Structure 1
Amino acid sequence: MKRTKPLIVGNWKTTPANLKEAINFVKSLEKKLTALKKKSINAYYFLAVPDIFATSLIPFTKYGEIGTQNINGTTLGQETGITTPSMVASTGITFTILGHSEVRARGEDLHTLSQKVTLSLKAKLLTVLCVGESERDKEGNYLHELENDLKEILANVDRALFSNLVIAYEPIWAIGAPVPATTEECFEVVISLRRALATLVGIEHAKKVSIIYGGAVTEDTAKSFLIDGGVDGLLLGRASQELKTFTTILESCFKN
């Protein structure tokens, strides 16, 4: 379901170094959000952490949810070293990121990604699907490429599952860059993605899908993407790995 409050997703990637540090971070974050609540700021977060930490962090979350950064596109069977989406969901993990550019760079194709999206949604995981161009061209062909990728990934996904789907617009050229995409550039792509969704599944199903932005978001730019960028939330990398920065962004996004 499309959310009325900002969807702020943190991606810890391969940090922190150990479980003790991870628990201390979440405890400190929760303490800060408790303080914000006393000021009538009801901040809420989604934190995608290394798999090995995930279930150990869930007991410490009151104002947030714990997820993974990827899942396997496999169902129950006789395969070694595989954890299925339904297994993940059974542990209390509520969401996953899929299709991140760093995962795709290791060889994940659109067919595999489509299978993962289907299984993730069937397992009732909130599914954050990343899409984004590696570069922009003056002719705007990148918009058509994004639309085509989205259609290929979602073509065989059951429309009834779309209420648990989130699209993360992640321009690859902006990830880790000193300057993110502008809010105008973001808004242009959001319109294109919404049009592609409406064409693929109809307006009513398309309305259920939230779109968030990821790519070098800072404390100073976070709120502007929500207001002027046309997005429903943010996907944060490094900004979610630093307690003060993450808390400041959450406060900014949830403050009236």
Structure 2
Amino acid sequence: MTENSAKMARKKLVAGNWKMNGNFDANEGLILGFLAEVDEQVDVSVFCPFPYLAQVGKLLEGQQVAFGSQDVSAKASGAYTGEVSVDMLNEFGVTQVLVGHSERRQYHAESSVTVAEKAVAAISGGITPIVCVGETLAEREAGRVEEVIADQLDPVVEQCAKFIENGVWNLVIAYEPVWAIGTGVTASPEQAQEVHAMIRARLNAMLGAEVAQSTRILYGGSVKPGNASEIFAKEDIDGGLIGGAALSSDDFSGIIRAARG
């Protein structure tokens, strides 16, 4: 696969992370509100809280929308109160999972090694991990962006490289600058592109050009219908991991339209 064909093969992905939000009525209204925008041009997925996996799975039966969980345990089973295994997620039909979200790293002290172990567990169980990386404002101001991203990404690459087949692997990366999550502040398209290009270059150095060019890298951080088109137009940005705007069917629909181009 040439570099240009690999870029063309990277279909945009719009993934909605509901975080700790939702109820039965709101979930149904939200999903039914954006389904009309879904087509084969853009991949769409939603990540709901664990208690709503059954409901969301049923609502999405026969639809071109994937659904996933917001976390997964690296362990297969055992005395791990409150944890949810890959096998459990598979019983619900989950096909994607978020790992290493900054809120998990911050509030639950998840290390990059733990994140890598979760990614391995997901891929081993046939579930696509979306691995989140990103720096804080203090780290950016200190000029440590590349260092921080490398520290978060390298353990994942090292542990998941064994899953690469024919130049591709079942893994997505999401760049989420912590300073832009839920703050209303968005990295400029140029800032986002710079880090996405940095991530792709690091994948290239560690895994080769074919894997680097086939890997989808999403941007997350206060993406809205009004700024999505400009962000998604950048060469190395392959869609978005959407937080607040994913809770509005109108906003989420607008972002899907922006990804369609």
For structure 2, the residue ranges without an aligned partner over 5 or more in a row are: 1-5
Pair 1:26-2:31 in alignment = yes
For structure 1, the residue ranges without an aligned partner over 5 or more in a row are: none
> Structure 1 residues 202, 179: CA separation in 2 closer, same or farther (over 3 Å shift)?
same
**Aligned AA for 1:28?**
G
Which position in structure 1 is the counterpart of 2:71?
Answer: 70
Correspondences of 1:1-256 after superposition (within 5 Å): 3-16=9-22, 18-30=23-35, 32-33=36-37, 42-61=41-60, 62-77=63-78, 79-106=80-107, 107-135=109-137, 136-137=139-140, 140-161=143-164, 163-228=169-234, 230-255=236-261
Does the 8 A contact of 1:159 with 1:205 survive in 2? no
**Aligned AA for 1:205?**
V
Extract structure 1 runs of 4+ deviating beyond 6 A.
none
Does the 8 A contact of 2:13 with 2:42 survive in 1? no
Aligned to 1:217, the other structure's residue is in SS state coil
Does the 8 A contact of 2:10 with 2:216 survive in 1? no
Does the 8 A contact of 1:186 with 1:230 survive in 2? no
Q: Which moved more, 1:101-110 or 1:131-140?
A: 131-140
Deviation at 1:137, TM superposition (A): 4.2
Note the alpha carbon deviations across 1:13-55, whole angstroms, 9 max, x for none: 1111x2232123212322x337xx6xxx855420000111012
Mapped to 1, the partners of 2:161 and 2:187 lie a distance apart of 32
Note the alpha carbon deviations across 1:170-200, whole angstroms, 9 max, x for none: 0001112233001111111111111111222
Deviation at 1:11, TM superposition (A): 0.4
**Aligned AA for 2:101?**
H
Q: Which moved more, 1:132-141 or 1:149-158?
A: 132-141
Aligned to 2:67, the other structure's residue is in SS state strand
Note the alpha carbon deviations across 1:32-85, whole angstroms, 9 max, x for none: 337xx6xxx855420000111012212222131111111111113465543211
Q: Which moved more, 1:183-192 or 1:132-141?
A: 132-141
Q: Which moved more, 1:130-139 or 1:219-228?
A: 130-139
Does the 8 A contact of 2:48 with 2:68 survive in 1? yes
Mapped to 2, the partners of 1:232 and 1:134 lie a distance apart of 22
> Structure 1 residues 229, 15: CA separation in 2 closer, same or farther (over 3 Å shift)?
farther
> Structure 1 residues 137, 253: CA separation in 2 closer, same or farther (over 3 Å shift)?
closer
Mapped to 1, the partners of 2:45 and 2:146 lie a distance apart of 28
> Structure 1 residues 137, 105: CA separation in 2 closer, same or farther (over 3 Å shift)?
closer
Aligned to 2:45, the other structure's residue is in SS state strand
> Structure 1 residues 145, 247: CA separation in 2 closer, same or farther (over 3 Å shift)?
same
Does the 8 A contact of 2:112 with 2:151 survive in 1? no
> Structure 1 residues 79, 105: CA separation in 2 closer, same or farther (over 3 Å shift)?
closer
Deviation at 1:128, TM superposition (A): 0.5
The CA RMSD over aligned residues, in Å, is: 2.2
> Structure 1 residues 113, 25: CA separation in 2 closer, same or farther (over 3 Å shift)?
same
Mapped to 1, the partners of 2:140 and 2:57 lie a distance apart of 43
Equivalenced residue count is: 248
**Aligned AA for 2:17?**
N
Does the 8 A contact of 2:33 with 2:250 survive in 1? no
Note the alpha carbon deviations across 1:111-167, whole angstroms, 9 max, x for none: 211110100111111211000000254673321221232112321224324521111
> Structure 1 residues 148, 252: CA separation in 2 closer, same or farther (over 3 Å shift)?
same
**Aligned AA for 2:83?**
I
Mapped to 1, the partners of 2:144 and 2:254 lie a distance apart of 36
